Amino acid sequence: MSNSRRDFIRRSGLAGMGVAGAWMSIYAGTPGELEHIEEGAEYVPLQTFNMSGYAAPKLEVVRVGIAGIGNRGFDAVVRMNKIQGVEIKGLCDLRAERVKLAGDLVTASGHRPELYHTSPEAWKTMCARKDIDLIYILTPWALHTPMALFSMNHNKHVCVEVPAGKTLQELWSLVETSEKTRKHCMMAENCCYDFFELTTLNMVRQGFFGEIIHCEGSYIHSLTELLFAKDRFYQMWELNETASRKGNLYPTHGLGPLCQVMNINRGDKMDYLVSMSSNDFTLGNEVKALAAKDGFYTSYAGRSFNGNMNTSTIRTSKGKTIMVQYDISSPRPYSRIQLVSGTKATALKYPEPARIARGHEWLGEEAIKELQEKYTPEIVKKIGKAAKQVGGHGGMDFIMDWRTIDCLRNGLPLDQDVYDAALWSSVSPLSAWSVANRSNSITVPDFTRGAWKKNAQVDISMSKGGTTGVK
């Protein structure tokens, strides 16, 4: 091990929780991945620079390259095409027809993008270009971290779809690289920009809920039909993920807004996590039924799928609690829960319509409407109407992209930094470890390495910026 490696602070948090060897469990069978991780000890690099609150030099025009133009990627192209001060310089996908489709759209608006599609590594040529400022990554999960690292190391800011990485090692490498290069690595957690979530955050900031005690979130979205569709996801990558790990594979939609509400990484931090999964009662049966009719599915028939419902609970260092659930395979109505419970009031978004209670009573429709008007945050006043017109999950996707570009153009910190990306994504490998170990608790890494005590809250006041227009 090199001297610099020896200089890393190593905390035996995992061992201290009685879970020595946790790293080995998480990475079992792939010793190469353990390059810089000591058995039973958490790998914690020194913080070389604090990216929380970091403002990169202003960019009058943000030159963008987009990697992965599938379902989600094409929508991102549509949104970026609507934001002033964006120049789309590169579009990349393995599939030529996807790149061409996006290329035609943006060319009609005056962009002149290079198209990259000739090999699985064509994205490297785009991400290495000197005339691009921001790479937006919307590929299957396995490519998120490799593309983000390569891009930061080639002097680019990064927006990466959720989750930012799949393993703790990947997440630490994002943190280290963002600090080393001083490039933003923002995970595009769009749910932080949904209307009710933004209003709730504003109400929290103004003391409406008192002290926050407990929050609940989830990703409950019945996707079974899409998972088994042959042509919905590129090479059925999401089904393959579901057949390769057990735990909460997609925690960030439920968690992101709640972490902002609870000032996680900015005044409080996650301390430890406990996770429990049910068995799978639907996917295995579904695949057997499909295989009986169509030989294509035979190879999936013997596989063991992720359990239907995962429930993870997290205790924070200040003694607050979070519950986050994941279920994409039960026939249930959609829910991200979004419960915020404080000493004075409660908010609950799902099932919709959203409700707010003061004390023991849920408020009536009129009173909720009045509160929502009173506490509408500046960002919604500024861009909410245009966002609803452009669309993208009701407008939240556009608010996110507009805000990100506006921050880069005004030299402002981004709302989500690399520590948020790493922490929110880390619930996935941590839950997998806990599920595999009879729901024992596991210490959540402090990606900020103590800086959480002083890091500033996310600024939703829009006291600066807001100068970017919509086409």
Chain positions contacting ligand NAD, by CB under 6 A: 67-73, 92-95, 98, 120, 123, 138-141, 143, 161-162, 190, 233-234, 237, 393
Separation of alpha carbons 388 and 384, rounded Å: 6
CB of 423 to ligand NAD, least distance (A): 17
Sheet strands side by side (includes 321-327): 361-362, 355-358, 345-348, 339-342, 212-220, 321-327, 310-316, 270-277, 442-443
CB of 73: closest distance to ligand NAD in angstroms? 5
SS3 108: coil
Tokens of 150: 């390569």
DSSP 308-326: S-EEEEEEETTS-EEEEEE
Q: Least distance from C-beta 139 to ligand NAD, angstroms? A: 4
Q: In the complex with ligand NAD, which residue's Cβ is closer, 139 or 173?
A: 139
One DSSP character per residue, 240-307 reads HHHTT--S-S--HHHHHHHHHHTTBTTTB-EEEEEEEEPPPSSHHHHHHHHHHH-GGGHHHHTPPPPP
Nearer to ligand NAD, 48 or 71 (CB): 71
Q: Which is closer to ligand NAD, CB of 74 or CB of 208? A: 74
Report the residue number, 116 or 300, with the smaller CB distance to ligand NAD: 116
Name 386's Cβ contacts closer than 8 Å, sequence gap at least 6: 398, 402, 470
Q: How far is the CB of 234 from ligand NAD (least distance, A)?
A: 3
Query: Is there a contact between 405 and 399 (Cβ–Cβ < 8 Å)?
Result: no
CB 320, min distance to ligand NAD, A: 26
How far apart, in whole angstroms, are the C-alpha atoms of residue 294 and residue 301? 11
DSSP code per residue over 128-189: H-TT--EEEE-S-GGGHHHHHHHHHHTT-EEEEPSSS-SSHHHHHHHHHHHHHHT--EEE--
Kindly state the smallest distance separating residue 74's Cβ from ligand NAD, in Å.
8
Contact 63, 131 (CB under 8 A): yes
Minimum gap (Å) between residue 420 Cβ and ligand NAD: 14
Nearer to ligand NAD by Cβ, of 143 and 175: the residue is 143
52: closest CA among 343, 403, 415, 363? 415
Complex with ligand NAD: residue 65 or 70, whichever CB lies closer: 70
Q: How far is the CB of 141 from ligand NAD (least distance, A)?
A: 5
Pick 119 or 279: Cβ nearer ligand NAD: 119
Least Å from the CB of residue 113 to ligand NAD: 14
Residue nearer to ligand NAD on the CB measure, 54 or 237: 237
CB closer to ligand NAD, 82 vs 166? 166
Reading across the β-sheet that carries 114-116, which strands appear in turn? 114-116, 86-92, 62-67, 134-137, 157-160, 185-187
Burial level of 31, CB count in 10 A (0-12/13-18/19+)?
exposed
Q: Which is nearer to ligand NAD, 71 or 244 (CB)?
A: 71
| Residue 421, C-beta contacts closer than 8 angstroms, at least 6 positions apart | 160, 164, 165, 171, 174, 185, 186, 187
Q: How far is the CB of 143 from ligand NAD (least distance, A)?
A: 6
Closest residue by beta carbon to ligand NAD: 70
